[in-house]
Amino acid sequence: MSQNKKKQKTAAGEAREINFCNLRLKLVVGWTLLVISIFLWNWKQVKVSTVKEAIVSLRMTAERDLAFRTWAARHGGVYVPVSPESPPNPYLAFLEERDVTTTTGQKLTLLNPAYIMRQVNEIGEELTGVCGHLTSLNPVNPVNSADAWETEVLKAFAQNSEIEEITAITDYNGQDSIRLMIPFYTEEHCLKCHGHQGYQIGDVYGAISAVTPLEPYMAIIISRQKSLIPGYALLWLVGFAGLLWFLKRLEFSSESLKANLLRNRAMVQAIPDIIFHYDENGYYRDAEFKNESKLFQIMKDKMQSDTVIGQNISDVLPGEIVAVLLPAIKRATATGEMQLIDYSYSCKNKTLHFEERLVKEGDGEVISIVRDVTEQKEFEANLWYQSFHDSLTGLYNRRFFEAEMATLDVAENLPISIIMGDVNGLKLLNDAFGHAAGDKLLQEAAQILRRSCRSNDIIARWGGDEFVIILPRTSRETAKEIVRRIKALGAQTEIESVRLSISFGYDTKENEDEDLTDVLIAAESYMYQNKIQESLDEACRFVQSVYDAFIKKYPVEDLHACKVAEISKKIASTIGLSDALVQEMEMLGLLHDIGRATINENILTKKGKLTQDEWNAIKRHPEIGFRILNSCKDTAEIAHYVLAHHERYDGTGYPSGLKGEEIPLQARILAVADAFVAMTSNHPFREAQTREYAIAELQKNAGTQFDPQIVKIFLNHVLLESAASS
């Protein structure tokens, strides 16, 4: 070959390379411009269509107002009682019958259509946000005068009677708004109020105006426009990927195009998805993916070289993936239809999920896009879990249980037992120790139910403190044994020193013709029957448990309570109360501070001055004590005295601000005994005061904080007798 021919051949190769570059650029730019053009057109149409929707809404409002105005005009207006909201219209004073008096003497005044519409529009604007306005270039009432925009529109209506409506987006009260006006024409019945203005039948003498802010619709427009972006991005991406593969095939015709192909691949690497090119037998013709992609990490362990090109999918992919992918490749090449497959692979204690779309590309070749959908699958699984599980306990929720009950109600599952359980004392625990303690109680109950049932049993949280279990192929005796097992485990579980207790009911479907819903209802009924007695007994045990835990944690409180009980008992006896009431006062003295069991330990033992929040927590203990004691029939009577033992005789106490003898006698006795013991005892925040100091304080506050008669009896009798005996 001559030197000249070599030069020509080189020049021709360079020309082909340049032409290929130009072709690639033109195709990519052309595709991008096409997608952008369609996207921008659609972007604009979203705004246009949304504004049209708003105009339709305004038109309906205006036409409704126009119809109502026409009705009112044809009836000559409406007479209504004279009121501050509807006084006589001074602009209708020329009408002889503007004001009339009924046979009963009631004053009525005429509301003409404009007056009616103004009131209706004011109400409509409050309800819908759409501002309606009846206006004219020559209004009877200046309130109905047209603004600048309305004036121009009214002039246009007057000049051209064929105009049915005019709309615009313009400023209204300082914000962009959509406005619409519909004209109305003079009819014979209109002359009653407007004849003196010179109008003739058929004249345009006004219009209905409707306006709504643009801002809410702009939010809709922006939301709709944003929703276009993912679809067009995917459209551009798929088209872009197709162009790249098309250019790749052209590369085989010229070695000089390899450099351009490398640049194309660099661009493809910016795409998070993986692109493969297979032949019909599953051999890789090309591939584009990042080394850090999870699928590549799976393939790398089996690859015989640093590239998959030329290798078969069975050489680099696990067998379970090949079993799904190879048939999809063959279907794509045989039918020409896109194949969508998904597959999973467990790797390093994590399950990876992939979605692959395969499209025929030429004879016997397939191009595919592989997407890592692990996060999406995990999100869907989590969403499914949340849809059918209770977030607090992790058990199934009621919706899942009801669906599963219908599924399990088949002959082969007979006998089917249902257990219904209700946690006792949940409200008491919530009231006393807060909802965190109540949540812990429910979580512990759920754990015990799981431990007591089989893996195929369905356990669900039925309501706030109710659980339900469906047990397929379970006899009544077995259900009874499961209930016994749950109760035994519950007896070993305590939250805030309160034992877990659950009331149960159960029933069994033994025959196919029985309704499983009736079995559920029966189990619930038995549960409520059992709960009536168990909850009462449990409430008393709850009171005892809280008190025992309190004095065990704070022995000084036990000593304080015993002293208060003894003094209270002596005061009651001295006053002459019955033996039963004297004994009741002793119990009241022992339990009056039970509400302090729920107060944070740091507050009870704090040596410095309490903050306002800490003091507020202290002041809640009478109310909490009331709720605890009121739950038990044995202590319900003294609960009211505990609630009032920090009321003051002058009415400045808490929690209810009772005054004088509004405060129960028992609470007044307890207040004196409690104060004396508190002053003469050691506390974390101060040392005990002298006996003389305490007596002086009681005398000083008699009539303000304390009942003066109780103080007198305590000082002159109880205290003196105690001193004499000691």
Span 82-110, pLDDT tens digits? 888 888 888 777 777 888 888 888 888 88
Domains of the chain by range and CATH? 12-77+112-218 (3.30.450.20), 272-379 (3.30.450.20), 396-544 (3.30.70.270), 555-725 (1.10.3210.10)
What is d(CA 584, CA 356) in angstroms, rounded to the nearest whole number? 79
What percentage of the chain carries pLDDT values higher than 90?
A: 22
For residue 454, the tally of other CB atoms under 10 A from its CB is: 11
Contact 590, 558 (CB under 8 A): no
Mean pLDDT value across the chain: 82
Helices (H), 311-397: 313-316, 319-335, 374-388
Q: How many CA atoms lie within 13 A of 700 on its CB side?
A: 8
Please enumerate, as own/partner, the contacts of 139-146 that have beta carbons within 8 Å and a separation of 24 or more.
139/114, 139/206, 140/91, 140/92, 140/112, 140/114, 140/193, 140/194, 140/197, 141/89, 141/91, 141/114, 141/115, 143/118, 144/114, 144/118, 144/206, 146/209
pLDDT in tens, 249-264: 766 555 555 655 566 5
Task: Locate 639 and state its tokens.
Answer: 């609960």
Name residue 23's amino acid. L
- Where do we find the tokens 């972006």? 229
Q: Which helix (H) or strand (E) holds 131?
A: strand 131-135
pLDDT of 2 higher than 50? no
Residue 4's pLDDT is: 40
pLDDT of 381 higher than 60? yes
Dihedral-angle region of residue 290 (phi above 0 means left; psi in -120 to 50 means alpha; beta otherwise): beta
With the CA atoms of 27, 30, 34 and 37 taken in that order, what torsion angle do they form, in degrees rounded to the nearest 10?
A: 160
**Where does the pLDDT of residue 115 fall: very low under 50, low under 70, confident under 90, or very high at 90 and above?**
confident
pLDDT of 234 higher than 80? yes
Task: Locate 427 and state its tokens.
Answer: 């409200």
pLDDT in tens, 18-62: 566 777 778 888 888 888 888 888 888 888 888 888 888 788 877
Which string of DSSP letters, residue by residue, matches 665-710? Answer: HHHHHHHHHHHHHHHTS-BTTBPPPPHHHHHHHHHHHBTTTB-HHH
Label residues 311-327 b or e (16+ Cβ within 10 Å = b). bbbbbbbbeebbeebbe
**Measuring CA to CA, which residue among 491, 501, 490 is closest to residue 534?**
501
Residue 3's pLDDT is: 37
**Measuring CA to CA, which residue among 411, 421, 426 is closest to residue 452?**
421
What is d(CA 335, CA 360) in angstroms, rounded to the nearest whole number? 8
Residue 271's pLDDT is: 62
pLDDT of 292 higher than 60? no
pLDDT of 126 higher than 80? no
Q: Which helix (H) or strand (E) holds 558?
A: helix 555-575
- In the DSSP assignment, the letter for residue 415 is S
Contact 568, 673 (CB under 8 A): yes
Residue 710's pLDDT is: 93
Residue 12's pLDDT is: 43
Task: Please give the residue that has the higher pLDDT: either 371 or 505.
Answer: 505
Residue 7's pLDDT is: 40
